[in-house]
């Protein structure tokens, strides 16, 4: 089907709305990513081994976080569509479901990190110093997961119900606390002992507890349509729970498989040595400053596509989806120039080996050139997700990674003598094939579905 120009270019109100709902989450994630960069720089001063160990722990933790986010993304679609349908009772029921499910997902990861850190880290590397440093960090950092379940669920529901600013304020407060405590506890300032990587973990635990406390406070004080009493937490109709679960399972599975894939990718690259682990960690931490664009696009898609779908405004939802795709690529080009420029400056701030800095800079330049493809792929994913086409999201995201990207990188790792940058470049080029598939699925328009009916 041919699209007219208006299907790709929105009116002024469209762009105002997209920016108004997207920018707060972008700022929230930018603050978080900036603090992560500062944390990374602080830990990097402890050496390659400490930085590599903490990076490995974070890779494992992100498996849990992404699995929860996949489930919450599905719940957010229902909350947004019920909001469009003005059905506050089912908004509350969906929030209860997401809160309970998030807790159930994180519990096994919490126990694994607390009880078997060396076993987990042994998957990524066999360097004893890296495993030792990572284990000291993981045992304590495991305690961030319980409060994180509450914070992620509340933030997702607030954004889906048209309140993106409050999570921004809460997140900014938490990361500021985290940064200050990192400085105090890692290096032993103001009379506190220098705890190294354990200090970084303790700072994160305290910050996450305070973040959860802030969410509880505002849930109690503000009249959110989805908020519920503790005594009603288990009051969820089976039919609704099953409906959400059927949509959430592919998304949660996708995020779980995708994050497992990223952890496996980290393992493959780590076979080229600790310098590669450190350089890869640095590059990803810096690139996160630019990948905040994805969070803004996710929120904009939920509001501009999911909400009209719930109100049965199909033509509006269709137009907004294609306009968001075009807008996403435009923004990606702007972001890519900034990312490319950062590769010449930021890696030099780290107190790591020269080789690790060079690897980080080269990876950032590859990512900058490919950034428009990452963004287009991600926006296609958000469009498919907006209408509950979760099978397609599973196929185009983690399915592609496990069927194409990981086997390719695995073979290059163990059966060739290619250096890390040759491997990395080949792996990133697979995004072009992925984009062809993702856009084809969007054009089929199976995602144009009202889930509230």
Domain boundaries in the chain?
5-444
Tell me what pLDDT residue 6 has. Answer: 62
Reported as a single tens digit per residue, the pLDDT across 385-424 is: 887 777 788 788 888 999 999 999 999 999 998 999 999 9
Tell me what pLDDT residue 3 has. Answer: 45
Reported as a single tens digit per residue, the pLDDT across 223-237 is: 888 888 777 778 788
Buried b / exposed e over 322-339, threshold 16 CB at 10 Å, is bbbbbbbeebbeebbeeb
- Please name the residue that has the structure tokens 């792929």: 377
More confident residue, 359 or 230: 359
More confident residue, 47 or 341: 341
Helix (H, G, I), strand (E, B) or coil at 13: helix
| Average pLDDT value for residue range 199-206 | 92
Buried b / exposed e over 249-276, threshold 16 CB at 10 Å, is ebbbbbbbbbbbbbbbbbbbbbbbbbbb
In degrees, to the nearest 5, what angle opens at C-alpha 163 toward C-alphas 157 and 165? Answer: 120
Helix (H, G, I), strand (E, B) or coil at 3: coil
**439 — alpha (psi -120 to 50), left (phi > 0) or beta?**
alpha
Distance CA 106, CA 146 (A): 7
Tell me what pLDDT residue 238 has. Answer: 86
Tell me what pLDDT residue 222 has. Answer: 87
The answer on pLDDT for 2 being more than 50 is: no
Q: Which are the contacts of 258, defined by CB distance < 8 A and separation ≥ 6? A: 66, 397, 398, 401
Reported as a single tens digit per residue, the pLDDT across 7-40 is: 777 778 888 888 887 887 787 677 767 766 777 7
Reported as a single tens digit per residue, the pLDDT across 246-281 is: 877 877 787 788 888 988 998 899 888 888 988 998
Q: In 10 A of CB 191, how many CB atoms?
A: 6
Tell me what pLDDT residue 451 has. Answer: 66
CB distance 286 to 112 below 8 Å: no
The answer on pLDDT for 302 being more than 80 is: no
Tell me what pLDDT residue 32 has. Answer: 67
- What's the pTM? 0.73
Tell me what pLDDT residue 448 has. Answer: 82
Task: Please give, one letter per residue, the 3-state secondary structure of 186-247.
Answer: HHCCCCCCCCCHHHHHHHHHHHHHHHHHHHHHHHHHCCCCCCCCHHHCCCCCHHHHHHHHHH
Q: Shortest CA distance to 22 belongs to which of 364, 318, 320, 254?
A: 320
Tell me what pLDDT residue 414 has. Answer: 92
């Amino acid at each position: 089907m041919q699209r007219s120009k208006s299907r790709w270019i929105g009116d002024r109100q469209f762009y105002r709305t997209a920016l108004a709902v997207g920018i707060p989450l972008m700022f929230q994630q930018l603050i978080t990513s900036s603090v992560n960069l500062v944390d990374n720089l602080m830990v990097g001063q402890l050496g390659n081994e400490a930085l590599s160990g903490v990076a490995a722990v974070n890779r494992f933790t992100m498996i849990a976080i992404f699995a929860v986010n996949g489930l919450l993304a599905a719940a957010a679609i229902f909350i947004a569509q019920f909001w469009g349908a003005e059905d506050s009772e089912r908004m509350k029921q969906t929030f209860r479901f997401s809160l309970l499910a998030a807790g159930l997902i994180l519990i096994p990861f919490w126990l694994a990190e607390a009880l078997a850190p060396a076993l987990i880290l042994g998957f990524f590397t066999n360097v004893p110093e890296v495993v030792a440093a990572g284990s000291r960090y993981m045992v304590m950092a495991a305690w961030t997961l319980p409060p994180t379940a509450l914070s992620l669920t509340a933030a997702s529901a607030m954004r889906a119900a048209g309140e993106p600013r409050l999570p921004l304020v809460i997140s900014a407060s938490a990361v500021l606390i985290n940064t200050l405590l990192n400085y105090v506890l890692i290096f032993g300032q103001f009379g506190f002992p220098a705890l190294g990587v354990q200090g970084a973990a303790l700072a994160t635990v305290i910050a996450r507890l305070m973040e959860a406390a802030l969410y509880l406070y505002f849930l109690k004080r503000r009249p959110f349509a989805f908020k519920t009493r503790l005594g009603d937490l288990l009051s969820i109709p089976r039919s609704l729970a099953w409906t959400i679960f059927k949509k959430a399972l592919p998304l949660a599975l996708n995020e779980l498989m995708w994050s497992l894939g990223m952890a496996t990718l980290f393992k493959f690259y780590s076979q080229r040595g600790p310098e590669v682990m450190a350089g890869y960690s640095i590059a990803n931490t810096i690139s996160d400053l630019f990948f905040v664009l994805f969070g803004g696009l996710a929120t904009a898609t939920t509001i501009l596509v999911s909400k009209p779908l719930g109100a049965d405004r199909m033509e509006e939802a269709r137009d907004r989806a294609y306009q968001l795709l075009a807008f996403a690529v435009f923004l990606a080009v702007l972001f890519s120039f900034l990312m490319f420029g950062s590769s010449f400056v930021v890696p030099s701030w780290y107190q790591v080996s020269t080789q690790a800095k060079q690897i980080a800079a080269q990876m950032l330049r590859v990512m900058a050139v490919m950034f428009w493809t990452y963004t287009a792929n991600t926006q296609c994913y958000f469009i498919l997700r907006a209408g509950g086409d979760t099978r397609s999201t599973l196929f185009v995201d983690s399915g592609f990674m496990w069927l194409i990207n990981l086997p390719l990188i695995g073979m290059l790792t163990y059966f060739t003598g290619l250096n890390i940058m040759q491997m990395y470049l080949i792996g990133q080029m697979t995004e072009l094939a992925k984009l062809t598939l993702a856009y084809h699925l969007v054009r089929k328009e199976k995602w144009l579905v009202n889930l509230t009916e």
